[in-house]
Each structure stands twice: as C-alpha cells, then as structure tokens.
Chains A and B, each alone.
Chain A
Amino acid sequence: MKHEKRHKLQLFYEILCAIEDGSVNPKVAKPTYIQHSSRLSYDKLMNHINQLEQKGMIYRHKQDNGAITITKKGNMFITQYRELMNLIESAGL
C-alpha cells in the first residue's frame, strides 16, 4: 500500500488525534496505541512526541509506562488545524 508523504503539521495532528481517540479516563493514551494509530515507526514517533512535549502540547506521565495526555495547548492546536484545513479545503486549495 502506497502512502503519501505527510507534512510535519499533519503528523503532529494525527498523533494528537490518536492520543485523543485512545484516551481513557483519566484521559491518558499508551504509546503503542498512538504508534498503531498514526502508522509511524517507533523511532519517528518518539522523535515527534519529544517535539510535541517540548512545544507543550502533550504531557508524558513518568510512572504510568510513559502514558501521554494532551494539554490545553494541544487541544487548541487540533481545533485550529481542523478550522484552517476546512477553510483551505473550502477554497479548493
């Protein structure tokens, strides 16, 4: 199956969406679920997760096998990405 190369922002968005989808109470997602959902190799995923953590979009729990939670900034990124993607799609761009 041929996959189109994804833009970095799209990867961030897909990782954040995977965290959102895989979150159970109390809103944490396991890295294995995120890896499966975002279709990335483990090394690449960890690289992106480190970047997202540096940007303050996610929070990694030290105790719970590195389970991940989205921060308020991460949620804002998801909303903004969807809004602006809708906008450029509606313009046919």
Chain B
Amino acid sequence: MHHHTFSAVINHPTAASIPTVASLFLFCLVVSIASIFLCSVIARYFYRSYRFFGFGYLLGLPTGFTILAVSFVFEYLNLVYSLSYTKESLENLYFWIQLSLQSEGFAFIALSYMLKDRVDSIICKNGLQIDATKIFFSPRNWKYSSVTTTRIRELVISILPMIVISIPLMVAISALFVQPILNDIELKDMSIYITVFDIIALGYIFIKSLSSVVKAANIKLLYIPAAFALLWLEQYSLTITYFDGSLTAYIGSSIVRLAGLLLFVYAIRYALFRTRIGDMEIET
C-alpha cells in the first residue's frame, strides 16, 4: 500500500472524487484481506514441508510469508486509520511497521535460498549432507579452505544472511529512535529506501528460484519464479508511484501483488496434485 498516493486522494476529497475514494478504499481493503489470507495459506504449506523434512533452510519461507501476512494486517490498520483524519501519527506508525515487516518477510524468504546454496556448496565440497543450522556461523567449516580469499569469501557468505535480515529492522528502529514521530516527507523518503531493498531481495529470490527450476528442466515448475517476478513488479510499480504519484501505477501494483500471491497458491496446489495424478497413473 503506498500511503501517500492514497492519503493524497483521501485527505483532500472533492465532491467529484468521493465515489472514487470510496471505491479505492474498498479495493485496497479487499486486496489487504486477500493478501493476508493467501500469505497464511502459503506459509502453512511451507511450514508443513519444514516439519516433514526438518531442514533448517526451509524455515525461511514460512517465516517470511507469516511476516508478510502480519505486514498486510498493518496495511489494513493503516487503511482504516487513514479514514479517521485525527490520528495521523498512528496512521504513519502503521504504515512504517507495515513497510519494515514486508521487507523483513522478503529478507527471510531470500535467506532460505541463501542457506540452500551454502548447504549445496558444502555437500559438493565434502560429499556430506549437513544440517543448515549446523553450518550457520560454524568456524570449523573454514579450516577446509586453504586460500585466504576463500576464507574471506566464506566469512562474507556467513555474515551476509545476518546483514540481509537486519537491514529492514535496523533502518526501521534507527529511524524511530532518531525521530519518533516521522512526518510525511520523511516517511516518503524512508519508504523508497525500503522499496529498493525489497526490489533487490526479490530480484535475488527470482534468480535463485529460476536457476534451480531451469536445472530441473521442467517448464511446468516456472509458476513460483513467475509469482516472485510479479511480487518484484509490485515493488517496481511502487517506485513509479513514489516518483510521479500515479494512482494507476499504485492500483496496478496492488493487482500485480494479488496475482503473484494467487499464482503462488496455484503453484502449490499444482505441485501437490501432480503427485496425486502420478499416483493414479501408476495404479491404473
């Protein structure tokens, strides 16, 4: 939800724009509620796979989608408070929490792909299968590398996930400590930094998910990378909204986000039904 585009329409309503405001509010409300529901469904399925396999790196996805669902709850609250003109500080606070949580959610999803890469590289190097949680910050893994550059590279790879996770939190907390009550312009500036972070995180997730699917050489597995591409497009549309305040770009971003989450749920259903259809074919 791009706070300022919506606020601009809602805080300065004209007689002609009142029906537009009402329909825009309803549209945003539906998008928020649908996003909460879809993210919860996605988180539930990936949590099941984590519980079943027990690989630490799989926990990033359900955690990320749960945080995203919570961020959309704050988006909903922000929407509700944007209608009550007297509580602008609360509206700003909800908007800020929503932005930070959304980035945190994407960071956790990216973490899953980062840790998966690390597990793969250690398996290739040692021919052993190691739990992702055991390799997280474990100096014992460094002794295998003989060259200093490799050690530095491994150190960076070890620290990078922590940095990715802490960026949205650090930015949010430091902004609130420096100035507890943020005004509209400061919020607008902060939101663009966070959106850029989201674009980078989603770009990384998209490339990683796509490369794994390409290796599997199955075009029918492209749904999830496509869903991440749509979420990336949502963030890109929000940057356009930041620069020109375009309402069309804002509505487009909401539609794209909803389409991305729907595609995600469809991909999950497809992956599960593919197994059942396969089983039925074997039986016949």
Q: Do the two chains belong together in a single complex?
A: yes
The listed residue (B45, B208, B276, B279) touching A87 by CB distance below 8 A is B45
Residues of B within 8 A of A43 (CB): none
Residues of A within 8 A of B271 (CB): 83, 86-87, 89-90
Asked if B52 and A80 sit within 8 Å, CB to CB, the answer is yes
Is A91 an interface position by the 8 A CB rule? Answer: yes
Distance to closest chain A CB from B35 (angstroms): 19
Within 8 A of A (CB), among B178-226: 208-213, 216, 221, 223-225
Residues of A within 8 A of B224 (CB): 90-92
Q: A86-B275, A87-B268, A91-B61 are in contact. Are A9 and B210 (CB under 8 A)?
A: no
Q: How many residues of B contact A (CB 8 A)?
A: 38
Q: Compute the total of residue contacts between A and B using a CB distance below 8 Å.
A: 77
Asked if B61 and A93 sit within 8 Å, CB to CB, the answer is yes
Residues of A within 8 A of B20 (CB): none
A36 vs B271: C-alpha distance when bound (angstroms): 30
Asked if A84 and B61 sit within 8 Å, CB to CB, the answer is no
Distance to closest chain A CB from B194 (angstroms): 25
Asked if B49 and A5 sit within 8 Å, CB to CB, the answer is no
Within 8 A of A (CB), among B100-120: 112-113, 116
The listed residue (B49, B113, B221) touching A84 by CB distance below 8 A is B49
Q: Bin chain A's interface residue count.
A: 20 to 34
Q: A79-B279, A80-B52, A87-B271 are in contact. Are A93 and B129 (CB under 8 A)?
A: no
A91 vs B213: C-alpha distance when bound (angstroms): 8
A79 vs B279: C-alpha distance when bound (angstroms): 8
Asked if A90 and B116 sit within 8 Å, CB to CB, the answer is no
The listed residue (A2, A4, A86, A93) touching B274 by CB distance below 8 A is A86
The listed residue (A2, A84, A93) touching B48 by CB distance below 8 A is A84
Is A88 an interface position by the 8 A CB rule? Answer: yes
Within 8 A of B (CB), among A55-93: 79-84, 86-93
B residues in contact (CB < 8 Å) with A: 45-46, 48-49, 52-54, 57-58, 61, 112-113, 116, 123, 127-129, 208-213, 216, 221, 223-225, 267-268, 270-272, 274-276, 278-279
Q: Could you name 8 residue pairs across A and B whose Cβ atoms are closer than 8 Å?
A: A82-B275, A83-B272, A84-B52, A86-B271, A90-B224, A92-B211, A92-B221, A93-B116
Give the top 9 A-B pairs by smallest Cβ distance, nearest first. Answer: A92-B212, A92-B209, A86-B271, A90-B271, A82-B275, A84-B49, A83-B275, A87-B271, A5-B129
A residues in contact (CB < 8 Å) with B: 2, 4-7, 9, 79-84, 86-93
New A-B contacts (7) at CB < 8 Å, excluding given A5-B128, A90-B267: A5-B123, A79-B275, A88-B53, A88-B58, A90-B213, A92-B209, A92-B212
